[in-house]
Amino acid sequence: MFRFLLARLGILVPTFVGVTFVAFVLIRLVPGDPIEMLAGERGIGAERHAELMAQYGFDRPLWYQYGSFLVNVLQGDLGQSLVTRRPVLAEFLALFPATVELSLLAMLFAVLVGLPAGVLAAVRRGTFLDHAVMGASLTGYSMPIFWWALLLIILFSGMLQWTPVSGRIDLLYFFEPVTGFMLIDSLLADEPGAFASALRHLVLPAVVLGTIPMAVIARQTRSAMLEVLGEDYVRTARAKGLAPRRVVGLHALRNALIPVVTVIGLQVGLLFSGAILTETIFAWPGVGKWLIDSIARRDYPSVQGGIVLIAGVVMLVNLLVDLLYGLVNPRIRHAR
């Protein structure tokens, strides 16, 4: 187990260097610079522009800037936002719970719907139900996020008026964040209707963000189940006279989960990229929207730092998933 962790960490180092480099270079390839953006419509004189660029160190050679950025990152200093002048880490941490809440709910939706759908499709292989599930999953997978979001908004927010279009909670509710998770905070705040409002704000973005992972999980579960259902030990389970529910839901599913857990882990990385779009569409105040806004403002430190942090979180989650994988698969747990 220890060596397994060590090997994992060994992979993390080059990944980390790669991510920081890409983050650093890409934002500088975008035309325009932070000073210009800050000046906005009014414009700025060439002299003053050069002066400010020098003040922030943007006139130094790129390799020097990248080097000092790396050194700072390793010391835990991600710099300050050029716009708000607050530390990037603080900005990120303030918004991160919103993204986590959205992603968790999306993943919950994806697993709670995708897993049973995949199991059902496998058990009823070749039937109308199977084709329906697979058709829906293919559609869900190929649907562009923004398009899907618009359809849902038109239906549920526009026509049915069931859900709001943006934000995390109605403006009339206000309470101090305790955990940063609106669902929990609204419960703690003890304001009638606050929780329902938070939930109604969360449903659509979570469904939109969870759709692709749900489709992937459904397909993967179906194929894993189909394979597992033909195994000898499933026949053994049936030979004991166990109820089909137990044979499928315990003996088969437990084994099918092994590949499915890996896939769920891989979805977490994709979830964050999906969150960027989803948060922007629903004006969800999370790190995804913040990153987009920072790019628009050419807020170099925020973009660089934000990407480093998001990458760090994704790597951490993947590490956790690897550990979880060992937990669901006894053959790995007992190997040394």
Partner 1 sequence: MALLEIRGLTVEFRTTLGPLRAVDGLDLDVEKGEIVGIVGESGSGKSVAMLAVMGLLPRTTTITAERLAFDGADLLSLSTRRRRALTGKAMAMIFQEPMTSLNPCFTVGFQIVEGLRQHEGGSRRALRARAVELLEKVGIPAPEERLGAFPHQLSGGMSQRVMIAMAIACNPQLLIADEPTTALDVTIQAQILDLLVELQRERGMALVLITHDMGVVAETAHRVSVQYAGQQVELREVKALFADPRHPYTAALLEALPERSSGRLLPTIKGVVPGLRDRPPGCLFEPRCRLATAHCRAVPPPLAPAGDALARCHYPLFEGLPQNHPGTAERAS
Give 48 or 235: the residue with its C-beta nearer to partner 1.
235
CB of 225 to partner 1, least distance (A): 14
Q: Which residues contact 122 (CB under 8 A, 6 or more apart)?
A: 130, 221, 222, 223, 225, 226, 229
Nearest one of 187, 192, 197 to 162, comparing CA atoms: 197
List residues binding partner 1 (CB under 8 A): 231-233, 235-243, 251, 254-255, 328-331, 334
Give 84 or 236: the residue with its C-beta nearer to partner 1.
236
Give 46 or 239: the residue with its C-beta nearer to partner 1.
239
CB of 247 to partner 1, least distance (A): 10
Give 85 or 240: the residue with its C-beta nearer to partner 1.
240
Nearest one of 164, 217, 201 to 286, comparing CA atoms: 201
CB of 231 to partner 1, least distance (A): 7
Give 253 or 295: the residue with its C-beta nearer to partner 1.
253
Nearest one of 154, 140, 264 to 209, comparing CA atoms: 140
CB of 241 to partner 1, least distance (A): 3
For residue 140 the two structure tokens come to 């869900």
Estimate to the nearest angstrom the gap between the alpha carbon of 332 and the chain centroid: 27
CB of 328 to partner 1, least distance (A): 8
Q: Which residues contact 231 (CB under 8 A, 6 or more apart)?
A: 252, 255
Alpha helices in the chain (DSSP H): 2-29, 34-39, 46-56, 62-74, 88-123, 128-142, 145-152, 182-189, 194-229, 232-239, 244-246, 253-281, 287-296, 300-328, 330-333
Nearest one of 108, 270, 288 to 199, comparing CA atoms: 108
Give 169 or 256: the residue with its C-beta nearer to partner 1.
256
- DSSP-assigned states of every residue in 40-78: GGG---HHHHHHHHHHHTTTS-HHHHHHHHHHHHHTT--
CB of 254 to partner 1, least distance (A): 5
Angle between helices 128-142 and 88-123 (to 10 degrees): 160
Give 201 or 222: the residue with its C-beta nearer to partner 1.
222
CA dist 297 and 288 (Å) reads: 14
Give 86 or 254: the residue with its C-beta nearer to partner 1.
254
Q: Which residue has the tokens 């669901």?
A: 328
CB of 131 to partner 1, least distance (A): 17
CB of 196 to partner 1, least distance (A): 40
